[in-house]
Amino acid sequence: MNDQTVTRTYSRYALALLLAVNLLNYIDRQVLYAVFPLIKTDLRLSDTELGLLGSSFMLCYMLSAPFFGRIGDRGNRIHLASLGLATWSLATGLAGFAPGYRTLLTARTVVGIGEASFGTVSPGLLSDFFAKERRGRVLSYFYLAIPVGSALGYLLGGVIGQRLGWHAAFLLVGVPGLLLALPVHFLRDPRKGKGSPADDRSGEPNAFATLARNRSFVIATLAMAAMTFAIGGLSQWIPSFFNRVHHLDVERANTLFGAITVLAGITGTLAGGWLGDRLQKKNSKGYLLISGWGFVIGTPLAVAAIMASSLVTALATIFVAEFFLFFNTGPLNTVLVNVTKPTLRATAFAVNIFFIHALGDAFSPTILGFFSDLWGIRSALLIAPAAIVIAAFFCFFCTPYIDADMRQAGD
């Protein structure tokens, strides 16, 4: 990959392949929430038990991440990513054979372990294929998987679940990942043979202490944790909200929400990445400002969507709210890349994954489910916009430290 043309072509291939895998990542993750009403009825579960299905995945995801992060910085990132893909795809398919709640709970925990190994190494791996000034847009393309994959998870889960049952939904969405595991396994590492410090797979002995002293990394992680609390809770409960409050069946609720998420997510993610790169050229705080103002604008719109009595009003405000909330996707992840050294990036994303889920959606589905049992689903969902306000605060609070931390990271 020394030739510039080959490097550019292969970089684009790597982006396409890793984007496809990340799409499956979010399809397999979100399909569970699409079939919540069907599982609730079939297995006779409370909302708290339903929420625990989502939380169990996140608990294993976040607890596994630091372990895989250190392996990723010291060992073969490519093989770790392919093994994770095969593991979570197989576990998703096996959930289709689950006879009861405990078996389904076990399958979802294994999905979390598999996705953690891919999630820790893929952003840093992809960033190594591209120059620093292009990373905002590249990572925005990569994280298009969040809205598109999530929407496809809702759409596929809703349609397949309504027509063939929730078991079939898990079985059918798990198969494609097994087909992509081999191409990922043979992907070339962009750092190999280039004399980069990333060639040294020994990692840094005090990696966690180094990250703890990195103010921009810590504050950006807290912003992402607050955002993850809100988005994780909303994404799991909005289809059920449409089902209960606006009286839509499972297929229609997930189809509408999925379509909105695709349109708002694609446009919002691309707009955030493009605007972030443009503003970053003029202002080193550009990525943080784009993310912070997206949160500020999105918060009241999220409240309006939850409180709307009309289905049309709810759908319209959800679309605009998601558009602005997805602004942060590329910029905040680019901040993490830019303020950490290449030899620390897998560990950095591992630590980030741990904390954004430990403080975020590892418990928010269960918390919202608990308060839904007490207050009703509409009142419970209003907890989420308050967390988005906290995310905005941390974005703006981070701005005084970003310059020094980027200089120290280099690359």
| d(C-alpha 239, C-alpha 221), whole Å | 28
pLDDT given for residue 205 in this prediction = 58
For residue 193, tell me if it sits in a domain.
no
Tens digit of pLDDT at every position of the chain (411 positions) = 444 444 778 888 999 999 999 999 989 888 888 888 888 888 888 877 887 887 788 788 888 888 888 787 777 888 999 999 999 999 998 888 888 898 999 998 899 889 988 988 888 888 888 877 777 788 888 888 877 887 788 788 888 988 888 899 999 988 899 999 999 999 887 766 444 444 444 445 577 888 889 999 999 999 999 998 998 888 778 888 888 888 888 778 877 887 887 888 889 988 988 888 888 888 889 899 999 999 999 999 999 999 998 999 999 999 999 899 888 888 898 899 889 888 788 888 888 888 887 888 777 878 888 898 889 889 999 999 999 999 999 999 999 999 988 888 776
**What is residue 122's predicted lDDT score, i.e. its pLDDT?**
87
252 falls within a domain: yes
The answer to whether 272 and 143 have CB atoms below 8 angstroms apart is no
Would you say residue 395 lies in a domain?
Answer: yes
Give the list of residues 6+ apart from residue 256 with CB closer than 8 angstroms, or none.
242, 248, 315
Distance from C-alpha of 54 to C-alpha of 96, rounded to nearest angstrom: 16
In a domain, 176, yes or no: yes
Contact status, residue 220 vs residue 332, Cβ threshold 8 Å? yes
Q: Where residue 330 sits, what CATH number does that domain have?
A: 1.20.1250.20
Instruction: Please indicate, yes or no, if residue 195 is contained in any of the structural domains.
Output: no
In a domain, 200, yes or no: no
Interhelix angle 215-245/145-164, nearest 10 degrees? 30
The boundaries of the domain holding residue 53 are: 4-182+206-409
**How many distinct structural domains can be found in the chain?**
1
Q: Is residue 191 part of a domain?
A: no
- Say what angle helices 4-34 and 145-164 make with each other, to 10 degrees: 40
Burial 206-216 (b: 16+ CB within 10 A, else e): ebbebbeebbb
- Measured over the CA atoms of residue 103, residue 108, residue 113 and residue 115, the dihedral's sign is positive
Q: Is residue 155 part of a domain?
A: yes
CB 81 within 8 A of CB 392: no
CA distance 380 to 55: 17
3-state SS, residue 100: coil
> For residue 181, what pLDDT is reported?
92
> What's the CA gap between 153 and 255, in Å, rounded?
10
Residues 177 and 179: their CA atoms lie apart, in Å, by 5
C-alpha distances in Å from residue 158, one per residue of 27, 132, 208, 252, 254:
12, 40, 41, 8, 5
Helix, strand, coil percent values for the chain (each to nearest 5):
85, 0, 15
Paired tokens of 124: 């840093």
Q: Residues in the chain, how many?
A: 411
pLDDT score of 204: 55
How far is residue 204's CA from residue 207's CA, in Å, rounded to a whole number?
Answer: 5
